[in-house]
Structure 1
Amino acid sequence: MQQLVHAGLDRTQKQVSIKRGIDEGLQAVQAIRAMVDKAVQAAPEAAVAWVGVCLGLEILSNPVTESRDNRKGIAYVLSRMEWYWNLVSLLLDENKARSSATGLQVQLRKHIVQLYEKLLSYQMKSVCLYRRNWAAVIGRDMLKLDDWAGQLSEIQEAEAAERRHQDDRDKQCLKDLRETDPRDDKTRIQDTKGGLLRDSYRWILDNNDFQRWRDHPQSQLLWINGDPGKGKTMLLCGIIDELQKEPSFRLSYFFCQATEAQLNNATSVLRGLIYLLAVQQPSLISHVRAKYDVAGERMFQGINVWVSLSGILTDILGDPTLKDAILVVDALDECSSGRSQLLDFIIQSSSISSSRVKWIISSRNWPDIEEKLDNARYKARMHLELNQYSVSNAVDIYIGFKVDQLAQNKRYDQETKDAVQCYLTRNADGTFLWVALVCQELAEPKIRKRHILSRLKLFPPGLDALYSRMMEHIDESEDADRCKEALAIVLVVYRPITLEELKVLIESPEDLDKGELDEIIKYCGSFLTLREDIIYLVH
C-alpha cells in the first residue's frame, strides 16, 4: 500500500506544483475579498452580486484546497503507519484475545478495527485519486466529494478514542496492581508515631556514609541497620521527604510491617515499588501491560507472581526513559515471606556498575540479612550503633519536643518540666521508642502533675525493663484479663482488626460496648494504638 501511495504522489507531483501556484494567487484574492466585504456592507444593493462572486471563488478554490488537504492527510497517515501496524499486532493477537476475558478487550478490538478501516480507506481513496483523469479529479474536488480534511479528522478522532481507551486500560491495570499505596502507609506510620520531626533526622544529610551513597555514581546501595527503637523507620521517612525535593529523581518506596498481611511479603514490596514508579511516569505501565494484557488480574496471583513481578521491575529499571531512580525499602526484617528472594533481587540490581538505580534499605541487626548483604558489591553501610553520638543528639531533640508538648498539655511548671527532661535524657539510651512510650504514659489524663516525679521513677531504662514494667501495670488493673486477651488476639490475627471485630473475638462480648473496648485498648496503650477504630501494635 505504501508503494502504491508513493507512486501516486510522484505521478501527480506536477499537478500539485501547479495547484500550489494557484493557491498562492487565491490567498492574495482572499486578502482583497476581506476588504470588499467591508465595502459591500455600505452598499446593500451590491450584496447579492457579491455573494455570487464569493460562491464562485469558493467552488474554484476547492480543487486547490482539496489537493492540499489530501497531501497533508496522506503525509500524516504514512508517518503513523508503523505505529498502527505495531499496535494491531500487539493488541489483537488471537492468543492474547482468547486469554483475556475482560470486556475491555472486546472494546479494544472494536476501536482498533474502526481505526484501521479508516486508515485503509484513506489510503485506497488516495491511490484512486492519483490514477484518475485530471478533469474528473477537478470535478470531484470542486464539489468536495472526497472531503479529505473530514476523513483526516475522523482518523484523528479514532486515534483520540483509542488513546482514551488505552488510558482506561492503564487505569485498570494500575488498579489491579495496587495492593496498597506506600504514600498512604507513610502518612499512617508518621501519624501513628506522633508526626515527623525534621530536626531529629536531618543529621543524616551530613553523614559521610549517606553523602558517599548519594554522590558517588558506583555507590548504589545504602544499608541502614540498628537495634529496635532506634528510629530507623522515621529516619527513612525523613530521607524520603528530603529526596522528594529533588525533581530529577524517580523515588519509590515501601514500608514493611510484619503485622500487616499486605506489607509483610516480597511480592507486595515489588508491587508497591512498581506502582509508585508507574504513577510518577505513566509510560512505564507498558512493562506491566505486556503481561497484564495476557493474564489480567490473575497475573498478580499464583505461584509464579514473584517471577512475573521481578521480571517487570527489572525491565522498568532498564527502561532508557527512566533516568535516575531511587528505591527505598524499610524494615526488611519485617518482610516475613520471601525476604531471601527480595534481598537477592536488591543485590543483583545494585551490583550493576552502569545502573542508574540506587537503593536504600533498613533493617535490624539480623545475621541472615547481614550474610546476604555481604555479597553486595557497591554498598555503603550505616550502623546506627556506630553513630551513637548523632542518634543520641537526635533523641535529645525528640525529648525536648515531647516534653514541650507535655508541659503545654499538662501545665508543668519549669521545675517539673526540667525534671522530666533530665530523667528522659539520662535513661533514653539513644532509643526513640523508649521516649515515645514513657511520654505516652505521662500524657494519660489520670496522671496528675503532682504525681509526675514519683511516676517517672517507675519507668526503668531500656526497652526490655520498660516492657516488663508495662505488663506489671496491666496486671494491677481490674481489667487485666481482658487486656491480656485483647493483646493475645491482636498478636495472632492475620491483619489489624477493628474494635467491632475485637468485640466478636473477645470472650464474653455481651458485657462490653464499643466505648469500654476503647478504654481497654487505651489501657494497653504502651503496646496497642487505636487509629480510625483500627487496632495497631506499637513497635
Structure 2
Amino acid sequence: MTDRPQANYERSQHNSFKGSETPEALCLRSLYTPDYESYKSRNPSRVEGTLGWFLGHEKYRQWLQEQRSSLSWVSADPGCGKSVLALFLVDELEDRQSEPSATVCYFFFKGDNEEQRRAEFALSALLHQLFTAKPSLIRHATKDFESKGDNFTEDIGTLWRIFTSATADPDCGDVIIIFDGLDECEVSTREKLIDSLALSYAVSANRTIPTTRDTSLKFLLTSRSCGSIERRFRGLPIIRLRAEAETLAIGADIELVVNSVAEELRHMCGLTELERARLRDHLVQDADGTCLWLSLAIEKPSDYGESPLKDVLRILNTPSNMDAVTDGRSRVPVGRYGSVAVYGYRGGGGYDIRRGHSTGSVIGADRIYEPT
C-alpha cells in the first residue's frame, strides 16, 4: 500500500522533533519504545473480497456512525482473521478520514513478544501516534516526563491520565483507537487497561458517554471470546459483535482465502488447472472452518526448481489436530516443493505447519514427510 498523506505527515513531524533537543522532542522519543509500526506489518493483508460482511454488519455500522464516543468489542474464534480484520480497519479508517481532526491510532498485541504483550507499551504507542499527528498535545505529557524521565512510560496510570487529558483537549478532535488481540495482553496489565477504559466512561441507561469530551473517542477491540475479558467488561454498554456466531460469513471468507492460496501455489509450482482444483479441494476439506490449516510458508527463491503436485500434497496430507498450540516451539524448515518453502514448529511429538508471514493460525501434525 502506498504511503498516505497522514503517514507522510507523521514521519515529517517525527523527523522535525528528532532534530531538536527540546523537552517535547525527548518526550516524544521516549514514547517510541515499542516499534508498533512493525507489529502492524507482521500481519497478512486481507484477501480481496473478504470482510465485506463485517463492513456491512449493523453492529460495526452502529459503532462507526455513532456521533458520540463508543466502545466496540469484536470477538472471534482462533484462525478466523481477527488480526487481518484489525489491519484492514486501520488502513480503511485512515483512508476514509476526510478531515484532519480525525486521528486513527492502533496497537497489535501478541503473546510471543514482551513489548507486544504489555498494556504500557500499547499506551505509549497510542500517545506517540497521537502526539505525532497533533504535536501541540504533547504538552499534556511534558510535566510527567520532566519529573520522572523515561520512567513515566512504565506506569499505566500515568500514561492513561495523559491519554485522557490529551484526548479531552479541544485541539485533539475525534480519535479512533484499534486494539487487536486484547486476549494476548499480559493479564495484570490487561486488567488495568480495561479498568481504565471503564472508569473513563459514565454509564447511562442507553450508552456510554465520556464525561469531559465534546468530540468522539472510539475504541474497537478484538480478541478471542474470553471469560476473563467478558467479566471485566460487564456493566459497560459496549457494542458487542460476536464474529464466532457468523459461521456462514466466515466460511465464505475462508473459501476465498483457500482459492487465493491455491491460485498462488498454481503459479509458483506450475500446476495444471486440474491439479489446482484438487489442491483447492484438499485445503477446503482440512480448513475445518478456520484458516489454521492454511499456515503454509510461501517463498519465491530463484534457485529452486519446480516439483510435482504429489510432493505438495504429501506435506499437506498430514492429519490435522486443531488443539495444537505453538507456545515455546522452535521454527524449523521441513522442506521445499518447487518454490514453496514449508516450515514447522517443533514440539509435542510432531510439527505445526504454518504460513511464515502470519504469526498466528497454526495446526499440529502427528506425522510429517521428511524430504530426502
Q: Report the TM-score range of the alignment, normalised by the length of the smaller protein.
A: 0.7 to 0.9
From the superposition, tell whether residues 210 and 221 of structure 1 become closer, same or farther in structure 2 (CA, over 3 Å): same
Q: SS of the counterpart of 2:239?
A: strand
Q: Partners in 1 of 2:113 and 2:126 — Cα distance? A: 17
Greater Cα shift, 448-457 or 235-244: 448-457
1:335 aligns to 2:185 (yes or no) = yes
Shift of 1:169: 2.7
Greater Cα radius of gyration, structure 1 or 2: 1
Shift of 1:286: 0.7
1:386 aligns to 2:245 (yes or no) = yes
Deviant stretches of 4+, over 6 Å = 163-167, 441-447, 528-531
After superposition, residues 89-108 of structure 1 pair within 5 angstroms as none
After superposition, residues 210-225 of structure 1 pair within 5 angstroms as 210-218=60-68, 220-225=70-75
Q: Quick check: 1:423–1:456 contact (8 Å CA) kept in 2?
A: no
Determine the structure 1 residue equivalent to 2:170.
320
Determine the structure 1 residue equivalent to 2:140.
287
Shift of 1:339: 1.0
2:156 aligned to which of 306, 316, 326: 306
2:225 aligned to which of 345, 365, 385: 365
Q: Which AA in structure 1 matches 2:260?
A: F
Shift of 1:289: 0.7
After superposition, residues 102-501 of structure 1 pair within 5 angstroms as 168-187=22-41, 189-190=42-43, 193=44, 195-218=45-68, 220-245=70-95, 246-248=97-99, 249-301=102-154, 305-336=155-186, 337-351=188-202, 352-354=208-210, 355=213, 356-377=216-237, 379-435=238-294, 437=295, 439-440=296-297, 448-451=307-310, 455=314, 458-460=317-319, 463-464=322-323, 467=324, 488=328
From the superposition, tell whether residues 424 and 443 of structure 1 become closer, same or farther in structure 2 (CA, over 3 Å): farther
Q: Partners in 2 of 1:211 and 1:446 — Cα distance? A: 48
Shift of 1:430: 2.8
Q: Quick check: 1:427–1:462 contact (8 Å CA) kept in 2?
A: no
Deviations 1:112-152 (A, max 9, x none): xxxxxxxxxxxxxxxxxxxxxxxxxxxxxxxxxxxxxxxxx
Q: Quick check: 1:350–1:359 contact (8 Å CA) kept in 2?
A: no
From the superposition, tell whether residues 409 and 201 of structure 1 become closer, same or farther in structure 2 (CA, over 3 Å): same
Structure having greater relative contact order (Cα 8 Å, sep ≥ 6):
2
Shift of 1:219: 6.5
Aligned residue pairs total: 318
Identity, in percent, stands at 21
Question: Quick check: which one's strand share is greater?
Answer: 2
Greater Cα shift, 259-268 or 200-209: 200-209
Q: Partners in 1 of 2:131 and 2:172 — Cα distance? A: 11
Q: SS of the counterpart of 1:260?
A: coil
Deviations 1:258-309 (A, max 9, x none): 11111111211111111111111111111111211222223234xxx12211
Deviations 1:168-200 (A, max 9, x none): 33221111121123222212x13xx4x443422
Cα RMSD (Å): 3.5
Q: Partners in 2 of 1:167 and 1:202 — Cα distance? A: 47
Q: Which AA in structure 2 matches 1:200?
A: T
Which consecutive unaligned segments of at least 5 residues does structure 1 have? 1-162, 472-486, 492-498, 500-519
Q: Quick check: 1:428–1:461 contact (8 Å CA) kept in 2?
A: no
Q: SS of the counterpart of 1:230?
A: coil
Q: Partners in 2 of 1:385 and 1:165 — Cα distance? A: 48
Shift of 1:238: 0.6
Q: What TM-score, normalized to structure 2?
A: 0.75
Shift of 1:453: 7.6
Shift of 1:361: 0.3
Q: Which AA in structure 1 matches 2:72?
A: L
From the superposition, tell whether residues 433 and 521 of structure 1 become closer, same or farther in structure 2 (CA, over 3 Å): closer
Q: Partners in 1 of 2:307 and 2:30 — Cα distance? A: 51
Q: Partners in 2 of 1:522 and 1:345 — Cα distance? A: 41
Q: Quick check: 1:400–1:421 contact (8 Å CA) kept in 2?
A: yes
